[in-house]
Structures are given as structure tokens and as C-alpha cells.
């Protein structure tokens, strides 16, 4: 087993689409002469997994959610969701403040 780190990031593109970014980090001395081959294989497996498992699930999830507000859906939150929830709540506050500021400027 070769230890590696692989961060995953989703970047919203539109209201219903996102970009998915992932990286795979290996220590140079981990795989020896076969490091590039190992990295290529891991990338291939990640791509296949994402295309065959994650993409269909995410597409169905998006169809189910549609245009509904995230919080109106009353999502089940896991401990691992804490950071994302804090960011979402902070963004919601910033957006509300910006909208209020626009309304005040119009009045």
C-alpha cells in the first residue's frame, strides 16, 4: 500500500453546475522508479470512479434538488460537513448584507 494525499475541491460554475478538482500527492521516494506509472494508475482509477459512480449520483442529486433553497431541504449534516456549513452560513450572511446594502442605496 502506498500512502498518498488527495484533496478534492468543487468549484461552482453556475447555479446547477460545478467543476471538480482533485490532486494526488505522493512522496517522491514512495514509489521509486515506478512513481509516474503509479501516479498515472491512481489518476485513471480516480477518473473511472468519478465517471461511473460519483457523476451519476451527483447528477441525480442535482435533479432532485432542482432550484430549491439548500436550507429549505433540511439536509442531514454530518460532523465532516461542519467546515462547509460554516462557510455556507457566512456566505449567506455576506449575500444578505450585500442585498440589504443595495436596497438601502435604491431607497
**Calpha distance 77→80 (Å, rounded):** 8
pTM of the model: 0.60
Residues 35 and 74 in one domain: no
Residue range of the domain that includes 96: 69-107
Query: Do 56 and 7 reside in the same domain of the chain?
Result: yes
Same domain for 18 and 44, yes or no, is yes
Same-domain pairing of 61 and 77: no
Instruction: Indicate the DSSP class of residue 74.
Output: -
Q: Is the pLDDT of residue 46 over 90?
A: no
Q: Per mean pLDDT, which of 1-5, 53-57, 71-75, 94-98 is the most reliable?
A: 94-98
Q: Does one domain contain both 28 and 60?
A: yes
Render 4-72 in DSSP notation, one character per residue.
-B--EEEEE-SSS-EEEEE--B--TTTSGGGHHHHHHHHHHHHHHHIIIIIHHHHHHHHHHHTT--TGG
DSSP structural state of residue 78: -
The mean pLDDT value for 19-31 works out to: 76
Q: Tell whether 58 and 86 lie within a shared domain.
A: no
34 vs 31, higher pLDDT: 34
| Whether 76 and 62 share a structural domain | no
Q: From CA 6, how far away is CA 2, in angstroms rounded?
A: 12
Same domain, 37 and 24: yes
| Number of domain units in the chain | 2
Q: How far apart are CA 67 and CA 78, in angstroms?
A: 23
Verify that 30 and 45 share a domain, yes or no: yes
**Do 63 and 77 sit in the same domain of this protein?**
no
Per residue in 66-100, pLDDT tens? Answer: 889 889 999 999 999 999 899 999 999 999 999 99
Same domain, 19 and 35: yes
Amino acid at each position: 500500500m502506498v500512502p498518498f494525499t488527495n484533496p478534492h475541491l468543487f468549484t461552482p460554475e453556475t447555479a446547477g453546475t460545478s467543476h471538480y478538482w482533485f490532486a494526488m500527492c505522493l512522496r517522491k521516494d514512495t514509489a521509486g522508479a515506478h512513481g509516474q506509472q503509479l501516479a498515472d494508475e491512481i489518476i485513471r482509477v480516480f477518473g473511472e470512479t468519478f465517471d461511473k459512480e460519483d457523476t451519476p449520483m451527483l447528477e441525480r442529486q442535482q435533479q432532485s434538488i432542482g432550484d430549491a433553497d439548500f436550507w429549505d431541504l433540511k439536509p442531514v449534516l454530518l460532523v465532516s460537513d461542519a467546515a462547509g456549513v460554516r462557510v455556507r452560513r457566512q456566505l449567506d450572511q455576506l449575500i444578505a448584507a450585500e442585498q440589504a446594502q443595495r436596497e438601502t442605496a435604491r431607497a
